[in-house]
C-alpha cells in the first residue's frame, strides 16, 4: 500500500525561493572592519538570480563545479544558494590549504569557474596557472585588475558581471539526490578526499540544525557565522538560517579576538559556533577588555574537545558553551551535547563535557578490532562508525580499493575516532584510531609530515605524534633518527619543511632518538612513543 502524500524534491532552489520570500526582511550582515553592510534576504534572492544568469553566460549550463575562494560574507552566501539552485555544484575551496593541495582538489573536482575575494587574489594567483579546467575567475569585492590570468582563463569583476542581469531566474527542478555542493577533507593520509552533498542531504541536515535539541537555530536568532564557509559548509548554519529566517552575521576576514568582540558588541548575535581556539583567544581579549556579551546565549563548539575550564569561564560570563561532534563527511552535524531534562547542575555538567547525543537520523555503533559491535554502556571503548541521510557513503571518484576506501565498512563510515557511548546515546571521544593530529580544528597528517621530514638527506627515520597544546588542542611532535655521521638541528629541519607543508602545520616540537620503536610487523609503534613522551623520557626541543 502506498501513501497519498505528494512527492516533491527537497531542493536548494525551493529553499532559496522560500527564504527570500517568506523571510524577506531577515538580513545578512557583513563586517567591514569599521562597521557593517547589510542586505535583506529578499535582496539576497535577487542577487542569487543575477549570479545564476551570469554563470549561465559563462557556460555553467549543467552540473559544472563552481569554486569559491572566499571569506564568510554576503556574496559567499549568494553563491551558496545560487550555484546549487541552478543545478550546478558549489565547491568551497579552503583558503588554508597548501598550494599543491589546492591544485589537486580544483583539478580533481574539475572546477569551471572560481569566485574569489579580492583580498585573497594573491594566494590564488600563485596556483591559478596549475588549474587545468578553470576557464573563468570572478573577483568579488575588489578590482579584477589585481589578478592576472594565464592563457585560456578570463578574469571578471563580480559587480560588472552581475550589472544588468535579470533579478529573476527560472530555477530548474533537480533530482534531490543530485550533487549540490562539495568539500574536500584532508583528514586522511594522501591527497584530500572529496565529499559531495546532495540537495536532500543539505535539506535534512538543515532541519536538524534547527531542532531544539540540536543547534536550535530559529527565526528569532541572529547567528554569527565564525566557522568558515569553506570548512564543512560552515556547520550548515547558512542553509539552516535561510530555512527558518534567522539573520546571519558574517565576519568576513576579521576573525581575530578584537574584531570578533567588536562584532558582538555592535551586532548582538544570539548564537554562534567555532573551534575552541577561537574562544580561548576571545576569552583572553575579554580579560583585558571586559564587555557585556548579552544577548549571546549558546555557543556551539566542535572541531576538537573544549577544555572544561574554558566552558566554566564562559559560564561566568553568561554564555553557555555546548559541545558538538561532526566531520566533513557528516555534513558535519553528528551529535550535540544538550543534557537530558531534569538533572541538577552537577549531573548536567557531566553530560556537557561529552561530545553529544546522536539524533534519530544518525545511526552510530562502536566496533572492536575484529569488526564486532560493542555495547553502549559508557565504558566499552571502540571505533565509532556512523550512517545516515547526511553521512557520505563514499569519497568522490574513489576507485575500488583505492586510497580512502578503508573509511567505509558495510555501509558505515569509519570516523577514525575512538570512544564510548552511554546507554542514552551520548558520545565520549577518548582517542583516534589513526594518528591524525587535530590542531585548531584542522587536520594534520602525521604520515605526510613523516614523509616530508624523511626526505631530508640527514634523516633516517621520523615518527610524528600529537601532543597536547593549550592553545591549539594538539600540535605535532617529531621524533627524528639521524643517519650515521649526519647532523641536523631542529631549526634546519623546520626550515626544510617551510616550502613543503602549510605554514600552520610546521612542527614546533622536536626530539632526537636512537631508534623509533617498532611493532612486531615493523611499523612505527606510536603507542610506545606516546608513552615515552608522557613519562618524560624524551628530550624535547620547542621552537617558538
As annotated, the active-site residues are 185, 329, 438, 443
Tell me the three cell numbers of residue 428. 565520549
- 3-state class (DSSP) for residue 370: coil
Q: How many Cα atoms are found within 13 Å in the side-chain-facing hemisphere of 322?
A: 21
Q: Which of 13, 392, 364 is nearest to 184 (CA)?
A: 392
3 state DSSP class of 336: strand
Cα-based distances in Å from 314 to 40, 195, 318, 347:
32, 34, 6, 19
Contacts 24+ apart (CB under 8 A), 484-493: 484/460, 486/457, 486/458, 486/459, 487/458, 488/456, 488/458, 488/459, 490/541, 490/543, 491/543, 493/453, 493/456, 493/459
Helix, strand, or coil (residue 50):
helix
Please report the DSSP string for 421-449 in residue order.
E-TTSEEEEEEESS--EEETTEEE-HHHH
What is the phi/psi pair of residue 253, to 5°?
Answer: -95, 5
> Strand pairing partners for 325?
335
Compute the distance between CA of residue 433 and CA of residue 413 in angstroms, rounded to an integer. Answer: 13
Structural contact between residues 60 and 66, judged by C-beta atoms closer than 8 angstroms: yes
Distance CA 221, CA 152 (A): 45
Are the C-beta atoms of residues 272 and 300 closer than 8 Å to each other?
yes
Fill in the DSSP letter of residue 94: P
Name residues whose C-beta falls within 8 Å of residue 113's C-beta, 6 or more positions apart in sequence.
Answer: 55, 58, 60, 64, 66, 67, 134, 135, 136, 137, 138
Give the helix/strand (H/E) hosting 17.
helix 12-22
| DSSP code string of 447-513 | HHHHHHHTTSTTEEEEEEEEEEETTTEEEEEEEEEEPTT----HHHHHHHHTTTS-GGGS-SEEEE-
* The pairing of beta strand 36-40 with beta strand 65-69: unpaired
The maximal CA–CA distance of the chain, rounded, in angstroms, is 80
Amino acid at each position: 500500500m502506498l501513501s497519498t502524500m505528494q512527492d516533491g524534491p527537497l531542493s536548494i532552489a525551493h529553499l532559496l525561493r522560500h527564504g527570500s520570500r517568506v523571510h524577506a526582511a531577515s538580513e545578512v550582515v557583513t563586517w567591514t572592519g569599521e562597521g557593517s553592510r547589510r542586505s535583506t534576504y529578499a535582496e539576497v534572492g535577487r542577487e542569487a538570480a543575477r549570479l545564476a544568469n551570469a554563470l549561465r553566460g559563462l557556460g555553467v549550463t549543467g552540473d559544472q563545479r563552481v569554486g569559491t575562494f572566499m571569506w564568510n560574507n554576503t556574496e559567499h552566501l549568494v553563491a551558496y544558494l545560487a550555484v546549487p539552485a541552478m543545478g550546478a555544484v558549489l565547491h568551497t575551496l579552503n583558503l588554508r590549504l597548501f598550494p599543491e593541495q589546492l591544485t589537486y582538489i580544483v583539478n580533481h573536482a574539475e572546477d569551471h569557474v572560481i569566485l574569489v575575494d579580492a583580498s585573497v587574489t594573491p594566494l590564488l594567483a600563485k596556483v591559478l596557472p596549475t588549474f587545468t579546467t578553470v576557464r573563468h575567475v570572478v573577483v568579488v569585492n575588489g578590482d579584477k585588475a589585481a589578478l592576472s590570468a594565464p592563457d585560456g582563463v578570463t578574469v571578471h569583476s563580480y559587480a560588472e558581471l552581475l550589472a544588468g542581469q535579470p533579478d529573476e531566474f527560472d530555477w530548474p527542478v533537480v533530482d534531490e539526490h543530485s550533487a549540490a555542493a562539495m568539500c574536500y577533507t584532508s583528514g586522511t593520509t594522501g591527497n584530500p578526499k572529496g565529499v559531495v552533498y546532495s540537495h536532500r542531504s543539505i535539506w535534512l541536515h538543515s532541519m536538524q540544525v534547527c531542532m531544539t535539541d540540536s543547534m536550535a537555530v530559529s527565526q528569532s536568532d541572529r547567528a554569527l557565522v565564525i566557522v568558515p564557509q569553506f570548512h564543512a559548509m560552515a556547520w550548515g548554519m547558512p542553509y539552516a538560517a535561510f530555512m527558518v529566517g534567522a539573520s546571519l552575521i558574517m565576519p568576513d576576514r576579521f576573525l581575530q579576538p578584537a574584531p570578533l568582540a567588536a562584532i558582538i558588541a555592535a551586532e548582538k548575535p544570539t548564537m554562534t559556533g567555532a573551534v575552541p581556539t577561537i574562544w580561548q583567544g576571545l576569552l583572553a581579549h575579554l580579560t583585558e577588555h571586559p564587555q557585556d556579551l548579552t544577548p549571546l546565549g549558546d555557543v556551539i563548539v566542535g572541531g576538537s574537545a573544549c577544555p572544561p575550564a574554558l566552558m566554566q569561564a564562559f559560564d561566568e560570563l553568561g554564555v553557555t558553551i555546548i559541545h558538538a561532534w561532526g566531520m566533513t563527511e557528516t555534513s558535519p552535524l553528528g551529535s550535540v551535547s544538550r543534557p537530558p531534562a531534569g538533572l541538577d547542575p552537577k549531573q548536567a555538567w557531566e553530560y556537557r563535557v561529552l561530545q553529544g547525543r546522536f539524533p534519530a537520523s544518525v545511526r552510530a555503533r562502536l566496533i572492536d578490532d575484529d569488526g564486532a559491535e560493542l555495547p553502549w554502556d559508557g565504558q566499552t571503548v571502540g571505533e565509532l562508525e556512523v550512517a545516515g541521510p547526511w553521512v557520505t557513503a563514499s569519497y568522490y571518484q574513489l576507485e575500488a580499493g583505492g586510497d580512502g576506501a578503508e573509511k567505509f565498512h558495510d555501509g558505515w563510515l569509519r570516523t577514525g575516532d575512538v570512544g564510548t557511548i552511554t546507554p542514552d546515546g551520548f558520545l565520549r571521544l577518548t582517542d583516534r584510531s589513526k594518528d591524525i593530529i587535530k590542531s585548531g580544528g584542522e587536520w594534520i597528517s602525521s604520515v605526510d609530515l613523516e614523509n616530508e621530514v624523511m626526505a631530508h638527506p640527514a634523516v633516517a627515520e621520523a615518527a610524528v605524534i600529537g601532543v597536547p597544546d593549550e592553545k591549539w588542542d594538539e600540535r605535532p611532535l617529531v621524533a627524528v633518527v639521524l643517519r650515521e655521521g649526519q647532523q641536523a638541528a631542529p631549526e634546519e629541519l623546520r626550515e626544510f619543511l617551510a616550502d613543503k607543508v602549510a605554514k600552520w602545520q610546521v612542527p614546533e616540537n622536536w626530539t632526537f632518538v636512537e631508534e623509533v620503536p617498532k611493532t612486531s610487523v615493523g611499523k612505527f609503534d606510536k603507542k610506545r612513543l606516546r608513552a615515552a613522551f608522557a613519562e618524560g623520557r624524551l628530550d624535547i626541543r620547542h621552537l617558538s
